[in-house]
Amino acid sequence: MIDFRSDTVTRPTAAMAQAMAAAPLGDDVFGDDPSINALQTYAAEKFGFAGALFAPSGTMTNLIALMSHCQRGDEAIVGQQWHTYKWEGGGMAVLGSIQPQPLAHQADGTIALTDILGAIKPDDPHFAKTRLIVMENTTGGQVLPLSYMQDVAKLAKEKQLSAHIDGARIMNAAVALTGKDTPAADEIWAQARALVQGYDSVSVCLSKGLGAPVGSLLLGSEDFLKRAKRVRKMLGGGMRQAGMLAAAGHYALTHHVERLSEDHQNAQRLAQGLHDIAVELGLLPQFSVTLPQTNIVFCDLEANLAQYFVAELAKNNVLCISSSYQSNEQQRAKLRLVTHLDISTSDIMKTLAISRTLLQDWRP
Ligand SMILES: *Cc1c(COP(=O)(O)O)cnc(C)c1O
């Protein structure tokens, strides 16, 4: 099986499984789990924060952050397509009584600073209290530039707002921002620290490109984490002997950061290869490919072609996600293919060979 649906599908490597089996354990609700404590200390130091909190998922670390920054009736500024707004079941409103203020994106994935400024409400009883700005990096595989991230952090400070990064794939952003094809781990961490500087909290997924089976981290100040710990307990995220999971995350942060550039290169190979096939077969308007900045490839297809292609790929044990949409009277679909630890360069070559055959056989 070549599974491009998400970078969440990875299984622990043998070495990671060994680290999990060997992890010393305790009750983390009492703060007694040495493996969780070690992971939190390590991550805090690497990202340049006072501390970190381990939780079961990125959805939960985001919600903990939102509920630790905002009170009932406060407002959080978010992107229209962002996970915190669109893909987390409306958790901030349902569970946090927080009002989201979604804003439209620019083509590069950023939200214009003037739009953010314009959405900050004056202190007036008609309005919810704007309390928090949320960023997401990477967002849909796109990297928000360092200078932009710094501008938003500065704006938040000036307006006395808190700022949170949904950094589910922040290490992918850091890799891309080194500007190198195969950056060393130290160079990647330096970029990661620069990206999160000036922000009050960051959520990081260990279970995506980093390859751990479960877990996310929330980074922040001591004061923030004290509140966060209470919210985590409230949401049912206080785990007991979860050191085995933390050991996987710790292994991921120490062994799988540098290799992320392989996923980016594989995504490039895949996108370039699919584009070349589309050109060669004269399929271009029906089948267009966006060159990726990190590990997520998007293709935009005419709907019938997408349906055929995705179904036939699946028969050949190649999986990807397709979502259809309406565009200028035409039904189209976006395919998403994500590269990760369990996809090799030879899997990319196999996928391209299968794709060529399938697309050659396509008859509208
Ligand atoms: C995956 C993801 C999350 C949530 O992580 P889960 O561990 O799946 O809950 C949050 N934000 C972004 C941008 C993500 O891609």
- Probe ligand 1: pick from 166, 203, 232, 321, max atoms within 8 Å of CB? 166
Q: Is the CB of 136 under 6 A from ligand 1?
A: yes
The alpha carbon of 281 and the centre of ligand 1 are apart by a number of angstroms equal to 36
- Probe ligand 1: pick from 6, 9, 82, 87, max atoms within 8 Å of CB? 87
- Reading across the β-sheet that carries 216-220, which strands appear in turn? 51-55, 216-220, 201-205, 162-166, 129-136, 74-79, 99-103
* pTM to 2 decimal places: 0.97
- Sequence-distant (6+) residues with CB within 8 A of 19 are 247, 248, 250, 251
- Any bridge partners for residue 82, and if so which? none
Per-residue pLDDT of the chain (364 residues; tens, 9 = 90+): 999 999 999 999 999 999 999 999 999 999 999 999 999 999 999 999 999 999 999 999 999 999 999 999 999 999 999 999 999 999 999 999 999 999 999 999 999 999 999 999 999 999 999 999 999 999 999 999 999 999 999 999 999 999 999 999 999 999 999 999 999 999 999 999 999 999 999 999 999 999 999 999 999 999 999 999 999 999 999 999 999 999 999 999 999 999 999 999 999 999 999 999 999 999 998 999 999 999 999 999 999 999 999 999 999 999 999 999 999 889 999 999 999 999 999 999 999 999 999 999 998 8
Please provide residue 125's backbone torsions phi and psi, each rounded to the nearest 5 degrees: -60, -15
Closest ligand 1 atom, residue 56 Cα: 7
- Please give the structure tokens belonging to residue 147: 């200078």
